[in-house]
Structure 1
Amino acid sequence: MDKKIVYLVKYAQDLTDEAKINLSLSQISYSLIYSYNAGLNLIKLLKKNKLLWTLQNVRIICISSKVGSLFTRIAKKVSFPTIPTSKNMIKILLNHNHTI
């Protein structure tokens, strides 16, 4: 079964529920990171819970190369799309990345 869950990180407060993150990490196949601070917070939270290795199983989609630079040493696959303007654009990016 192919996992297609997107873990959307837009603001730092999206990362406050540690139990939610721990439960959902096994289901995540893509993570769309909107901001540099949210990326930093995600990395800190994963380090704190000794779950940083889980990023090896997730395709990270970063809105800019600045955000992506946080993940290039940690994750296997990091993409840098332009800013998606709609949910359909995000779906197109995910489908495109899935076929690579």
Structure 2
Amino acid sequence: MVKVSLIELETFDDIILLLHSRMSAVSMTSSLLCSEKSCFTIVTVSDEQILIISSPPPSTKCKFASVDDQGKVRCGELPPVGRPVVFILNVKDIKETDSIPITLLLHK
């Protein structure tokens, strides 16, 4: 059985800093799913544990987020050149079922 834990962060900056800290030289991008009410990402810790990490949405329009040289989170409509970047993806709807095939059939 897989254990799912929900971690709620206080600010949008916190989730960007978390995602940024998990990047490496091999993988300098990450993505974050956002709705009008919250943002979230899913992290697999092991075969038996998944973390859903959430935060409030950004207060300004944000398609790409990065961390500048002073450690401040920056948002923009264009990706920063030569920096690790978090892609902000807008979520329209989330459907829930007990079965992957049923969930896929709900998508039309």
With normalisation by structure 1, the TM-score equals 0.30
- Give the TM-score taking structure 2 as reference length: 0.29
**Bigger relative CO (Cα 8 Å, ≥ 6 apart):** 2
